[in-house]
Amino acid sequence: MIKLKLFGTAFLQVFFVSANTRFISVLFWPGIAAAGFAISYLWAVNVRKVTISTNADRVIYATGAMAGGLMGVLLTKVFKI
């Protein structure tokens, strides 16, 4: 369960980074605000988790981040934002 949380927080952080890149490019202000807040909050949560992690934890984190990036772009394409 802890590994799933690590994957999930990494996923969400990079998901919001990907989505926010798109929001900024089209000046979608509500998205910029919401994603900016989420990125910073999740970053603060993730820093503690990653600093005390094993190499396997880092791979899980990086995999979650990769998946979050892909899904963030996909979501903005699906909703044509």
pLDDT score for 3: 84
- 73 in helix, strand or coil? helix
According to DSSP, residue 52 is labeled T
CB 37 within 8 A of CB 29: no
pLDDT value at residue 81: 67
pLDDT score at 32: 94
Tens-digit pLDDT profile for residues 19-63: 999 899 999 999 999 999 999 999 888 887 777 778 898 899 899
Q: What is the pLDDT of residue 79?
A: 80
> Residue 72 above 80 pLDDT?
yes
Is 4 a residue whose pLDDT tops 80? yes
- Count of positions (residues) in the chain: 81
The region, left, alpha or beta by phi > 0 then psi within -120 to 50, assigned to residue 80 is left
